[in-house]
Structure 1
Amino acid sequence: MSLHAFASKDNWQQEGAARFCIGEAFFRASSQTGRDLGVLAAIALRKSTPLANKTHSAKNSSLRILDAMTGCGVRPLRYILEAGADYVWANEGNQDLHARLSENLNRSLPPNRYCITHQDANVVFFDCHQRQDFYDLIDIDSFGSPMPVLANALWAIKLGGFLYLTSTDGRATSGHAPDASLQTYAAYARAHPAVHEQGLRLLIGLAAQQAAARGLSAKPVFAFYQGEVNRVMVQIVRQSSWDSRNYGFLSYCHNCGQFATVPWKKLGRTACICGIAMTDTTIQKPVIQKPVISGPMWLGPLHNIETLKVMKQAAIDLQQTSVESSDGFETFGRETSGYKTSGYKTSERWAKCQALLDIMQAEAELPPYYYPLAEIGRRGKIDIPPRQALLDQLKQAGFTATQTHISAQAIKTDAPMATCVQLASCARKT
C-alpha cells in the first residue's frame, strides 16, 4: 500500500510552508507561535555565527538541526522550508508513527536533507557525542519537564549552538506542588501572582545549572510563555565564570505585594521593605512576617535583545516573501486545495511575531517578575486600571515600564507595587 493512502483529505493541515498530516501523532496547534520563534531563531543563528561566513568549509557552513521528539514532523519541515536548514535529524520515540512521519517528510523534502530514527532521545544524544556529530540547534518539545533529557542533550550540542526546551508541568512551577518542583528543578517554587514568569526562570535556571556542571554556560536567547507551555531557547557556550547574581532567589511579600531578588548570601536575612507586623496568636506578640522565597532560579535578562533584533528582521523578510507569494494562506479552518486553512495569511502571522518580539525586547532586562493589573486593583481597592494609562504614569514618574508577553493583563516595571497602587488610585480620583 502506498504511504499516500494514509492521508485523508480531512487530516491534512498547513502551517507556514509545511503541509503535513497529523494522524495519530500528538500535535498542539496552539503552540504555533513557539514554532514560529524556533524558525526565526534558526535564521538568526545562521546569520550571527560563522555559519554565515562563506569562506568556511562546507562542513562548517551548514545549519544542522536535531528534533529530538518530532511527532508528525512539522518542525523538521518548517526548519528546512522556512529557516533554510541544510539537514534535520527527525527522531520520534514512537515507532508506530513511522509511516505518517515518512509520508510527511517525503512529500516536501529531498531524501538527503533529513533522516528519521525511532529511539529514546537520550540514546540519540549519546550517539551524537560518541560519533562527535554535534548539532547547531536541538529542539526538545517534551511533555512535562525536560529534565530527563536536558543534561544529555549537552553532549550533542555544538558550542555556540541553540538548545530549545519545553516545560508543561505548570503545577510544579506555579508553587502548587513545591516538592515536585524541588524534585524536578532542584528549586522550591512558591505561589505568587507572577508564577508564569517563574516557570520560565526555573527552566532557564535548570539549563544554566546543568550546563555549568559541565563547564559550559547556558545564556537565554528568548523565553516564551503561552497557554501553560513554557518554551526557552538558550545558547550553549564555554563558561568563563559563574555569576551567582543571575542565579538566586525571588521573594514575595503577601502583605504588600512587593517582589525582590535575594542573593545566596542573604538567604537567612530576608525581610520586606514594608516591615508590616502581624500578631502571632500563639504568643500574643507582634512579629514581622517574612516574605516567601522561591528558587533558585534564573534572575538575569529573560531574552537576548540583539538576537531578538535579528529574529525580527527575519520575520520582516518572511512577511515580505509571503506577501509576494500566491500561496499565502495557512493553518486551520476552511478547505483550500485539499488542505485545512483558515484564510489567515502567513504575512499576518509574521507581522504578529514582529509585535511579539518588540514586547520581548522591551521586557528583556526588567526585574524578574510582573504585576497583574487585577492585583494592583485589588490592593488599591479600585477597578482594574487601564494598562496603557498606568504605563504612561509610571514612565512620567521616572520608572521603566512595559507590557509583558506573558500576560496581556499585567505590566513589568522597576517601580514598587506601592507606587503602582498609588498611581492607579490617583488616576481613578481625577
Structure 2
Amino acid sequence: MPHSAPELQSAAGGGAGWTVAATVDLLSQHTDAHYCEGRARLLPGAGFFRPESRPSRDLGVLLAQTLAARGPLRVLDAMAGCGIRALRYGLEAGAAAVWANDADPDRLPLLRQNLASLAGLRCSALTAQHLLADCLQRQERFELLDLDGFGCPTALLPLALEAVSFGGVLYLASTDGRSPTGHDRPAAIRLLGAAARAHPASWELALRLHLGSVARAAWALGRGIEPLFSFSEGRTFRSAVRLRRRCEPGEEHHLGMLAHCHGCGDQQVQPLIRLRQWLPCHCPAGEIAPLAISGPLWIGPLQEPGLLAEMQAFAEVDQGANLSTEGARLLARLLADRGLPARCWPMAEIARRLKGGAPPLLSLVAALREGGWSAQVSGVMPGQLRSDATWGEILQTAAQLVGMATGTAK
C-alpha cells in the first residue's frame, strides 16, 4: 500500500533528527510513495521536488481562492513538475480549468495520473517559451499564471504577461540568487538590465530588481502592474503581480535607484523619473566612501494589505487546512509590512555601528514611531528594521535605548 509522508517517516525510523531532505531522498527512492499536502495526495515521482517549499504553495492557493471569488478561475501552471501546485489550485481553490505543463515529456504520464481528478484539465509537455508563444498565438489568457522554474525568468516575461488576463496575476519565481544580490554584477546587467551591488537587505534587493523587470516589461506592452506580495527564504525569490489594463497615474515613480554607503551605513532612495544628485552621507569629512548604487528597481510597495487580509480570511474559513504553520507565519509577516520605504537595516549592523550592542528591534520600532517616523519590522528578511528616519536618527535613537537599558543614557 502506498505510504503517506508521516508513514514514510515512521518506516524509516525518523525521530527528532528526521529532516525534509531525508523525506525527499526517501520519496525519490520510492516513486510509488504518495505525498500529502493540503487536500492534495499525489506521487512526487523521481524528479525534483521540495516539500519545504510548501509555504509558497500555500500562499499560491490562498491567492487563487481570492481570484476564484471574483469569477471563473483559469490556471496555467507552466512548469508543473509533479503537479502539486496545479492539483491544489483545482482541489482547494476550485479552479474551473487547469492547464499543467512541464517541459519533460517523461513526466507527462505522472502529471496526468496525479491530476486525473480535476475537471477542465489539460496536460502538455512543452518548453515554457513554446507554451507561452502558443497561448499568445491563440490569444488565450489566464487569471493565474504560475511560473515556477529554475534560474532567472526575465526572458519569459513579455510572453508570460501576454498570457495573463487583465486583473489576473503572474506568480513568479526565480532561483537566481547571485546576480540580483550583487554577487555577479555582469550577470545582473545581462539578465536584469540593472546594476546590483552588495546590500545588507540582499533578499529584498533581489525582489525589487525582479519587480523592476516585470514593471518594465509590462509598461512596454502598455500595461500596468500591482505587486501583491513578495518574499524569499534566501534561495528562491517569489512575487505575485497583478496585471492592469493600463498604468496607474504616477506608477513610473515606483521605478528608481537605491544607494548604500558601506562606509557609514546610510541608504538613500530616488525615483528614476526625478533622479538628482545624491545627498551627502554620514561619513566624516575626508572619509566619504563611494555610494554603492543598485537599479533601476522597484521602490514601491511589495505587499498589498487588502489582498493579504482577504487571503488570511480564506485561511480562517478553511480552518488552516490549506495553510501550514510556516505558511501562516509568512502570511502574518507580510501582512505587517507593506514594504515601504525601500530602506532596511539589519540590527546586527546597527549594533556594529554603536559598538555597544543594539536595542530590541520592536523597541526601536516603537521609539522611532513615537518620534514621528515610519518604522516597522521587515517582513522580507528576519531581524531587519524598515524606516524612513534618517540614518543618524536611527543610530541616535538606538543608542539612547541601549543607554536607558544599561543606565548610561545621557
Shared fold (TM-score greater than 0.5)? yes
From 2, 15, 24, the equivalent of 2:37 is: 15
Change (3 A) 1:307 1:266: closer
Separation in structure 1 between the aligned mates of residue 298 and residue 187 of structure 2, nearest angstrom:
18
**Which residues in structure 2 correspond to 1:391-430 (within 5 Å)?**
391-430=365-404
Shift of residue 365 of structure 1? 4.7
Q: Show the counterpart of 2:223.
A: 216
Shift of residue 267 of structure 1? 4.7
Separation in structure 1 between the aligned mates of residue 47 and residue 390 of structure 2, nearest angstrom:
47
Separation in structure 1 between the aligned mates of residue 200 and residue 40 of structure 2, nearest angstrom:
38
3-state SS of paired residue (2:241): strand
Separation in structure 2 between the aligned mates of residue 124 and residue 210 of structure 1, nearest angstrom:
19
Shift of residue 242 of structure 1? 6.0
- Over residues 138-175 of structure 1, what are the superposed CA-to-partner deviations in whole Å (9 max), with x where a residue is unaligned? 00001111112121112211111100111111110111
Q: Show the counterpart of 2:16.
A: none
Change (3 A) 1:387 1:271: same
Q: Please, which runs of 5 or more residues in structure 1 have no aligned partner?
A: 1-5, 52-61, 280-287, 323-345
Separation in structure 1 between the aligned mates of residue 294 and residue 130 of structure 2, nearest angstrom:
34
Q: Show the counterpart of 2:310.
A: 310
Shift of residue 273 of structure 1? 3.9
Q: Show the counterpart of 2:359.
A: 385
Q: Show the counterpart of 2:204.
A: 197
From 272, 289, 294, the equivalent of 1:264 is: 272
**Which residues in structure 2 correspond to 1:8-87 (within 5 Å)?**
8=30, 11-47=33-69, 49=70, 51=71, 62-87=72-97
Change (3 A) 1:242 1:266: closer
Task: Please tell me whether the aligned partners of residues 391 and 402 of structure 1 are also in contact (alpha carbons under 8 angstroms).
Answer: yes
Task: Please tell me whether the aligned partners of residues 264 and 281 of structure 2 are also in contact (alpha carbons under 8 angstroms).
Answer: no
Task: Please tell me whether the aligned partners of residues 175 and 189 of structure 1 are also in contact (alpha carbons under 8 angstroms).
Answer: yes
1:295 aligns with 2:291: no
1:362 aligns with 2:370: no
Pick which of 205-214 and 310-319 moved more.
310-319
Task: Please tell me whether the aligned partners of residues 166 and 230 of structure 1 are also in contact (alpha carbons under 8 angstroms).
Answer: yes
Greater strand content: 1
Higher relative contact order (CA 8 A, sep 6+): 1
Q: Percent identity over the alignment?
A: 37
Change (3 A) 1:64 1:230: same
Q: What amino acid is the match of 1:309? A: A
Q: What amino acid is the match of 2:51? A: A
1:92 aligns with 2:102: yes
Separation in structure 2 between the aligned mates of residue 277 and residue 174 of structure 1, nearest angstrom:
30
Shift of residue 132 of structure 1? 2.3
Task: Please tell me whether the aligned partners of residues 253 and 272 of structure 1 are also in contact (alpha carbons under 8 angstroms).
Answer: no
Q: Show the counterpart of 2:152.
A: 145
Supply the RMSD in Å over aligned alpha carbons: 2.2
- Over residues 249-283 of structure 1, what are the superposed CA-to-partner deviations in whole Å (9 max), with x where a residue is unaligned? 0111222212111233665622334263335xxxx
Q: Show the counterpart of 2:9.
A: none
- Over residues 378-404 of structure 1, what are the superposed CA-to-partner deviations in whole Å (9 max), with x where a residue is unaligned? 111122432222222222323222222
Pick which of 356-365 and 95-104 moved more.
356-365
Shift of residue 216 of structure 1? 0.8
- Over residues 343-379 of structure 1, what are the superposed CA-to-partner deviations in whole Å (9 max), with x where a residue is unaligned? xxx66x2x65444334323321521131111011011
Separation in structure 2 between the aligned mates of residue 178 and residue 131 of structure 1, nearest angstrom:
38
Q: Please, which runs of 5 or more residues in structure 2 have no aligned partner?
A: 1-27, 405-410
Task: Please tell me whether the aligned partners of residues 380 and 422 of structure 1 are also in contact (alpha carbons under 8 angstroms).
Answer: no
Shift of residue 136 of structure 1? 0.8
**Which residues in structure 2 correspond to 1:102-141 (within 5 Å)?**
102-106=112-116, 109-110=117-118, 112-141=119-148
- Over residues 400-429 of structure 1, what are the superposed CA-to-partner deviations in whole Å (9 max), with x where a residue is unaligned? 222222222112122233323222222222
Separation in structure 2 between the aligned mates of residue 91 and residue 22 of structure 1, nearest angstrom:
15
In the superposition, the TM-score normalised over structure 1's length comes to 0.82
Separation in structure 1 between the aligned mates of residue 304 and residue 260 of structure 2, nearest angstrom:
26
3-state SS of paired residue (1:408): coil
Task: Please tell me whether the aligned partners of residues 187 and 297 of structure 1 are also in contact (alpha carbons under 8 angstroms).
Answer: yes
3-state SS of paired residue (2:382): strand
From 246, 254, 262, the equivalent of 2:254 is: 246
Q: What amino acid is the match of 1:371? A: W
- Over residues 36-67 of structure 1, what are the superposed CA-to-partner deviations in whole Å (9 max), with x where a residue is unaligned? 111111111223x4x1xxxxxxxxxx210000
Aligned positions, number: 376
Separation in structure 1 between the aligned mates of residue 394 and residue 61 of structure 2, nearest angstrom:
37
Q: Show the counterpart of 1:174.
A: 181
- Over residues 10-34 of structure 1, what are the superposed CA-to-partner deviations in whole Å (9 max), with x where a residue is unaligned? 7321111111222222112222111
Task: Please tell me whether the aligned partners of residues 199 and 230 of structure 1 are also in contact (alpha carbons under 8 angstroms).
Answer: yes
Task: Please tell me whether the aligned partners of residues 394 and 420 of structure 1 are also in contact (alpha carbons under 8 angstroms).
Answer: yes
Separation in structure 1 between the aligned mates of residue 187 and residue 45 of structure 2, nearest angstrom:
33
Q: What amino acid is the match of 1:357? A: L
Shift of residue 189 of structure 1? 0.4
Q: What amino acid is the match of 1:250? A: L
Separation in structure 2 between the aligned mates of residue 24 and residue 263 of structure 1, nearest angstrom:
47
Task: Please tell me whether the aligned partners of residues 278 and 289 of structure 1 are also in contact (alpha carbons under 8 angstroms).
Answer: no
Task: Please tell me whether the aligned partners of residues 303 and 335 of structure 2 are also in contact (alpha carbons under 8 angstroms).
Answer: yes
**Which residues in structure 2 correspond to 1:220-231 (within 5 Å)?**
220-231=227-238
